[in-house]
Amino acid sequence: MVVPSLKLQDLIEEIRGAKTQAQEREVIQKECAHIRASFRDGDPVHRHRQLAKLLYVHMLGYPAHFGQMECLKLIASSRFTDKRVGYLGAMLLLDERHDAHLLITNSIKNDLSQGIQPVQGLALCTLSTMGSAEMCRDLAPEVEKLLLQPSPYVRKKAILTAVHMIRKVPELSSVFLPPCAQLLHERHHGILLGTITLITELCERSPAALRHFRKVVPQLVHILRTLVTMGYSTEHSISGVSDPFLQVQILRLLRILGRNHEESSETMNDLLAQVATNTDTSRNAGNAVLFETVLTIMDIRSAAGLRVLAVNILGRFLLNSDRNIRYVALTSLLRLVQSDHSAVQRHRPTVVECLRETDASLSRRALELSLALVNSSNVRAMMQELQAFLESCPPDLRADCASGILLAAERFAPTKRWHIDTILHVLTTAGTHVRDDAVANLTQLIGGAQELHAYSVRRLYNALAEDISQQPLVQVAAWCIGEYGDLLLAGNCEEIEPLQVDEEEVLALLEKVLQSHMSLPATRGYALTALMKLSTRLCGDNNRIRQVVSIYGSCLDVELQQRAVEYDTLFRKYDHMRAAILEKMPLVERDGPQADEEAKESKEAAQLSEAAPVPTEPQASQLLDLLDLLDGASGDVQHPPHLDPSPGGALVHLLDLPCVPPPPAPIPDLKVFEREGVQLNLSFIRPPENPALLLITITATNFSEGDVTHFICQAAVPKLFRILNPNKAPLRLKLRLTYDHFHQSVQEIFEVNNLPVESWQ
Amino acid sequence: MIKFFLMVNKQGQTRLSKYYEHADINKRTLLETEVIKSCLSRSNEQCSFIEYKDFKLIYRQYAALFIVVGVNDTENEMAIYEFIHNFVEVLDEYFSRVSELDIMFNLDKVHIILDEMVLNGCIVETNRARILAPLLILDKMSES
């Protein structure tokens, strides 16, 4: 039974008539079954109709791969309608990942050489969209011949096909380079447009081509000038601007040619000024050309006056009411801010205005630009604006805004107090969106500002009392209260109004943090440690604290449990040491440039209670400040003069050895000290991503039964090894140990000379 | 370089789609739904350029139809904005006051027009008379 096949229009009607998705699917599946049957039967007359329907269905998103072979048959037929649908199908259905596409190479070759223009046009169109590398290589000679044909219809298409071929097979650039110069002399805009694109593509791919084409700059300038000064011509003008598309392309090519090249840039200067001043900016087309001109001026080596003109044009764009124009202006200003900072600063007020836009694209651009414009003179005003923005901005911009504000505050803070205030404000408004190291930075900042301890702890306490859900804020507040609890309770601080804070309130608050289900485990850790520290700072008795600590000794979280048990032990067995251990922390140094690492001392299992300097605070994890010379803290001595630590004495930097060629072989460990069961080992690692760096880890082990207490290890290297080891001299290390063992005070100083050879080569 | 050219109506039905870079069919439908969602959520006063993954989208609304063009970073957005309008003017001239139905039922002709204007992601011809010339000849031939 032969059912007359539906025409495409009828099919579309039917699909439109379907009320639900399921109905539509039904209709389409039925039709696809017909189409498949018809393809199997090989009906040549209606094939094109079937394929057209298949393509429509494909556009709606249904699979249509069984039509691929039909495309081939249709292309090979001699009727134009067949060829038309066949080529369209090839463009839409075939692609280079399926082998079937190579089969049309032959058909395309025939069509291209036969000289029937529409057919050639079709073939070129399809070739340029889905031609793979092999096809391009095969068909390159055909396309080249077509480049020089008299008919512009085919030529313009051939040129753009050449562009595609060059993208796929870069070696073909040599084939297509010679005709370009000649093509530039054409008057036909389609050909010119294509040629300019071709030249742009060639120049982007090879510097040799770039040099070659610098010769044509005068000609390009001439073409552009005629375009601009030509009167109103109906052929190509759009809203009064003659062929803006060609103008934009030429400007882009000029930009590429003039970059970093004085001579070409000079040739272009006059022309660019002329275009910039003469273009009619009342319509979008003119603005498009102007925008491209500005970009070009900025990129080439233009005269200073021209640059100022460009920035002013951008400023005018910013004030335009059309949002599109403001968007492009903001984007280009962002590109400019690195090179012409002062010029862009003049437009700062307008940029800040744009922050208040409701449009998401605009406000994102305005945010980036505002952050780039912050400098030491306008930091306070800008910060106010940015903080206001942070409160009202959409959630996807919050993280960027918060980190931007924090970075800017870090670079340009006028006073420490302002800095602390700013960070505090960011944490309260957008606490969940800040980066992880914000907590570390803030604690370090507060720690360093001695005079502001009372102020910060007071403010943090107030903030914490209001809201314990923002984790970074809670962490910082807990740390501060722990450290400076005594200042909080003393109650006198000139900068904010006096507040009587009760000991019990403070403890209650910290307990609330501990118990809240909103607190992360890390936050709980902070709170527990803070409670412990308060046990030495507060004058009341410590029963409440001891209770809390012992409760958490059976907590399910392993980290908290370990801490609680240790603290409990501290209360019970080592009460005399509690004050010393829980003293105020010394200032932690920031992590310097990546080249430095320090010797880490590994902690023992719980039996030994060494005077471990710092319980595991996350921010100190990078910077275990063991080797800080705690002046008199442990009751130990001044360092003997012949130990020459690095100046300042705070940290000893281990070495950054010059680049060692790969691969890094593992370096054997070295035992450097042994006495009565106490042993010290050095192990060396080179991190694979940075082979010039050497990490030395000192491991101290106690094999004896006696306790080792008050263990301190200091390492130093002679000054000349501090940064580099240019002479590849043998590495030397001096170690100094002091500890109590078997109730005797032991002090050892020795030099390590026999470091394995691989460590310093 | 133009990556894709879409005409989608307000209900999310694609009326024309042309991709200048190969994309899988399921990725295409996903792309089209996401694109139309971001365009629909913008009001009239907002700007016509959106950043979407690594493309820039430039869209214009004509009655119930959205024309969306996705480009990569090197293109001038405002020129493409102008180009969309140019395309619609060509369609207008050919179909005499084009409507969405015209586009639906004459999809092959619209493809021909688009192919005349854009080749491999680059704009090749913007002159209305020249674009429509081959199409008018084709029509005359099929009538006779």
Above pLDDT 90, what percent of chain A? 0
- For domain B2-143, say whether CATH 3.30.450.60 is its number: yes
- What is residue A590's predicted lDDT score, i.e. its pLDDT? 56
Task: Share the mean pLDDT of chain A.
Answer: 73
- What is residue A620's predicted lDDT score, i.e. its pLDDT? 35
Burial class (CB in 10 A: 0-12, 13-18, 19+), A96: middle
- What is residue A690's predicted lDDT score, i.e. its pLDDT? 58
- What is residue A649's predicted lDDT score, i.e. its pLDDT? 35
Tell me, letter by letter, the H, E, C secondary structure of A299-312: HCCCCHHHHHHHHH
- What is residue A612's predicted lDDT score, i.e. its pLDDT? 35
- Backbone dihedral angles phi then psi of residue A271, each to the nearest 5 degrees: -60, -45
Distance from CA of A236 to the nearest CA of B (A): 6
Which residues of chain B lie closer than 8 angstroms to A125, CB-CB? 115, 119
pLDDT tens digits, one per residue of A465-494: 777 777 778 888 888 777 777 777 776 655
Domain boundaries, chain B: 2-143
Which residues of chain A lie closer than 8 angstroms to B71, CB-CB? none
- What is residue A508's predicted lDDT score, i.e. its pLDDT? 80
pLDDT tens digits, one per residue of A294-323: 888 888 877 778 888 888 888 888 888 778
Total residues found in chain A within this entry: 761
- What is residue A385's predicted lDDT score, i.e. its pLDDT? 82
pLDDT band at A605 (very low <50, low <70, confident <90, very high): very low
Which tokens go with A188? Answer: 């036909």
Is A327 near chain B, with CB under 8 Å? Answer: yes
Reply yes or no on whether the pLDDT at B141 is more than 80.
no
Residue A336 and residue A344: Cα distance in Å, rounded? 8
Task: Name the residue among A61, A88, A163 with its Cβ closest to that of B111.
Answer: A88
Better-predicted residue by pLDDT, A700 or A105? A105
Mean pLDDT (whole number) for A43-71: 80
Chain A nearest-CA residue for B74: A252
Reply yes or no on whether the pLDDT at A624 is more than 50.
no
Reply yes or no on whether the pLDDT at A606 is more than 60.
no
- What is residue A89's predicted lDDT score, i.e. its pLDDT? 82
How far is CA A280 from each of CA A50, A274, A285, A312, rounded to the nearest angstrom?
A: 50, 12, 9, 16
Which residues of chain A lie closer than 8 angstroms to B72, CB-CB? none
| DSSP sequence for B26-75 | HHHHHHHHHHHHHHHTS-TTS-SEEEETTEEEEEEEETTEEEEEEE-TTS
Q: The tokens 């890094």 sit on which residue?
A: A664
For residue B16, list its beta bridge partners. B7
Above pLDDT 70, what percent of chain A? 78
Task: Name the residue among B47, B104, B130 with its Cβ closest to that of A359.
Answer: B47
- What is residue A608's predicted lDDT score, i.e. its pLDDT? 32
Task: Name the residue among B48, B124, B127 with its Cβ closest to that of A324.
Answer: B48
pLDDT band at A610 (very low <50, low <70, confident <90, very high): very low
- What is residue A504's predicted lDDT score, i.e. its pLDDT? 78
Residue B84 and residue B26: Cα distance in Å, rounded? 26
Chain A nearest-CA residue for B6: A59
For residue B9, list its beta bridge partners. B65
Task: Name the residue among A129, A130, A285 with its Cβ closest to that of B82.
Answer: A285
Q: The tokens 């004896």 sit on which residue?
A: A704
Q: What beta strand segments (E) does A356-400 contain?
A: none
Residue A726's CB is within 10 A of a number of other CB atoms, namely: 9
Reply yes or no on whether the pLDDT at A643 is more than 60.
no
pLDDT band at A274 (very low <50, low <70, confident <90, very high): confident
pLDDT tens digits, one per residue of A377-407: 888 888 888 888 888 877 777 888 888 888 8
- What is residue A261's predicted lDDT score, i.e. its pLDDT? 79
Residue A717 and residue A712: Cα distance in Å, rounded? 17
Distance from CA of A582 to the nearest CA of B (A): 51
pLDDT band at A755 (very low <50, low <70, confident <90, very high): low
- What is residue A10's predicted lDDT score, i.e. its pLDDT? 79
pLDDT band at A432 (very low <50, low <70, confident <90, very high): confident
pLDDT band at A334 (very low <50, low <70, confident <90, very high): confident
How far is CA A30 from each of CA A5, A24, A41, A48, B25, rounded to the nearest angstrom?
A: 12, 10, 17, 18, 21
How far is CA A490 from each of CA A354, A437, A503, rounded to the nearest angstrom?
A: 47, 31, 10
Better-predicted residue by pLDDT, A657 or A444? A444
pLDDT band at A351 (very low <50, low <70, confident <90, very high): confident
Reply yes or no on whether the pLDDT at B31 is more than 80.
yes
Mean pLDDT (whole number) for A184-204: 82
Interface of A with B in 231-290 (CB under 8 A): 235-236, 238, 243-245, 248, 252, 284-285, 287-288
- What is residue A656's predicted lDDT score, i.e. its pLDDT? 34
- What is residue A692's predicted lDDT score, i.e. its pLDDT? 59
- What is residue A39's predicted lDDT score, i.e. its pLDDT? 82
Mean pLDDT (whole number) for B116-135: 84
Distance from CA of A689 to the nearest CA of B (A): 29
Burial class (CB in 10 A: 0-12, 13-18, 19+), A48: buried
- What is residue A597's predicted lDDT score, i.e. its pLDDT? 31
pLDDT band at A221 (very low <50, low <70, confident <90, very high): confident
Q: Testing the interface with B: which of A160, A317, A356 to mutate, by most B Cβ within 10 A?
A: A160
- What is residue A120's predicted lDDT score, i.e. its pLDDT? 82
Residue A405 and residue A703: Cα distance in Å, rounded? 52
Give the global pTM.
0.61
Reply yes or no on whether the pLDDT at A693 is more than 70.
no
Reply yes or no on whether the pLDDT at A627 is more than 60.
no
- What is residue A725's predicted lDDT score, i.e. its pLDDT? 57
Above pLDDT 70, what percent of chain B? 98
Reply yes or no on whether the pLDDT at A658 is more than 70.
no
Reply yes or no on whether the pLDDT at A607 is more than 50.
no
- Lowest-pLDDT range of A275-279, A288-292, A385-389, A608-612: A608-612
Q: Testing the interface with B: which of A238, A243, A282, A367 to mutate, by most B Cβ within 10 A?
A: A238
pLDDT tens digits, one per residue of B77-119: 888 888 998 899 899 989 888 888 888 888 888 888 888 888 8
- What is residue A172's predicted lDDT score, i.e. its pLDDT? 81
pLDDT tens digits, one per residue of B1-26: 888 898 988 887 888 888 888 777 77
Interface of A with B in 592-621 (CB under 8 A): none
Residue A172: which of A139, A195, A127, A130 has the closest Cα?
Answer: A139
Provide the CB-side half-sphere exposure for A165 (13 A, CA).
Answer: 28
pLDDT band at A709 (very low <50, low <70, confident <90, very high): low
Better-predicted residue by pLDDT, A503 or A688? A503
Residue A363 and residue A352: Cα distance in Å, rounded? 10
Edge-to-edge strand order for the sheet containing B14-19? B14-19, B2-9, B65-71, B55-62, B49-52
Reply yes or no on whether the pLDDT at B54 is more than 70.
yes
Task: Name the residue among B13, B51, B79 with its Cβ closest to that of A244.
Answer: B79
- What is residue A617's predicted lDDT score, i.e. its pLDDT? 38
Q: Testing the interface with A: which of B47, B50, B130 to mutate, by most A Cβ within 10 A?
A: B47
Residue A156 and residue A159: Cα distance in Å, rounded? 5
Better-predicted residue by pLDDT, A602 or A124? A124
How far is CA A182 from each of CA A61, A191, B73, rounded to the nearest angstrom?
A: 45, 11, 30
**Complex ipTM tops 0.90:** no
Interface of A with B in 71-90 (CB under 8 A): 80-81, 84-85, 88
Task: Name the residue among B42, B120, B127 with its Cβ closest to that of A164.
Answer: B120
- Mention every residue, 6+ apart, whose C-beta is less than 8 A from residue A337: A344, A369, A372, A373
Mean pLDDT (whole number) for A127-131: 80
Q: In this complex, do B29 and A328 lie within 8 Å of one another by their Cβ atoms? A: no
